[in-house]
Structure 1
């Protein structure tokens, strides 16, 4: 794990800005603007899944706060779920009053977050996205979420995650 700025050799990075990609810079700016305590960690290899991220970070998969974009009646819905869980889309749809919730495709995700699938962060998107947060994440002192690309992870507390996203805490499984 490399906690120093990246080398700028990965696609989309700029060595003049510490190797951070534009999406990572937007995540940093959003976190700083929200006044949350956070750390951005740049990993030596990409971590597009919760299992890969947990292994690289040396934490449990339950500490990974997966930022998953769904299409809910045509609108984006961000579900931040524990990496240990699968989101029950029928339950989420019923609980939130949607007719249909389904996993969004990569183009939809990029259009609404400015971030690629595998690196979606809980914030730093071009426009606010309705957010739901898995209540089971509250059991962990430290959480790890995507940092804007699939090389970067964001360390954050549950309280700061809720505060910075304005997310509704509920059961998602």
Structure 2
């Protein structure tokens, strides 16, 4: 019997507490990019909701973006009123999410994180996001993801 990684268990508990309805799927460990996750799930790469944590002058900002998109950090920083968004270090990610890069879920962080969602995800009926571990994802809809995260929709590219 294998035991589930604690970050996945914490995600499942938080997902249920918030009324999430999606299915959690454990993927092979070798699935570490949006393209590989999409292939394993049989969906388009654009249906993968990447959870990208940025450092805004020491404060975390989470952007949920389509796997088919790159975030224009200068544009987003200006749009949300911060001086600069920079790539978060692994330590910063773990401190603010309790998870590791590649497995950051949109929910279940130690403290609330301002969250923004890429409207391009609306092109997909079902989207997949990380479930607290690099090998775990969950299915959801954009409307449910907005409700779960209290995110603000913002063009990121």
Q: Given the two structures, how large is their TM-score scaled by the length of structure 2?
A: 0.96
> In 2, are the aligned partners of 1:46 and 1:150 still within 8 Å (CA)?
no
> Structure 1 stretches of 5 or more lacking a match?
1-6, 9-14
**SS at 1:93 equivalent:** helix
* Aligned position for 1:62: 46
Q: Say yes or no: does 1:49 pair with 2:59.
A: no
Q: Rg larger in 1 or in 2?
A: 1
* Aligned position for 1:87: 71
Write the distance in 2 (CA, Å) between the matches of 1:48 and 1:146.
Answer: 11
| Structure 1 residue 80 displacement after superposition | 0.3
| CA-to-aligned-CA distance 1:115-167 (integer Å, 9 cap, x gap) | 11111111111111100000111121100001111111111111110000000
* Aligned position for 1:25: 9
> In 2, are the aligned partners of 1:48 and 1:119 still within 8 Å (CA)?
no
> In 2, are the aligned partners of 1:23 and 1:124 still within 8 Å (CA)?
no
| CA-to-aligned-CA distance 1:37-76 (integer Å, 9 cap, x gap) | 1110011334221111111111100000000000012100
Write the distance in 2 (CA, Å) between the matches of 1:111 and 1:123.
Answer: 14
Q: Say yes or no: does 1:34 pair with 2:18.
A: yes
Write the distance in 2 (CA, Å) between the matches of 1:139 and 1:96.
Answer: 23
Q: Given the two structures, how large is their TM-score scaled by the length of structure 1?
A: 0.87
- Which structure ranks higher in relative contact order (CA pairs < 8 Å, sequence separation ≥ 6)? 2
Q: Mapping of 1:126-137 within 5 angstroms?
A: 126-137=110-121
Q: Say yes or no: does 1:166 pair with 2:146.
A: no
- Large movers: runs of 4+ above 6 Å: none
**SS at 1:127 equivalent:** coil
Write the distance in 1 (CA, Å) between the matches of 2:19 and 2:71.
Answer: 29
CA RMSD of aligned residues (A): 1.0
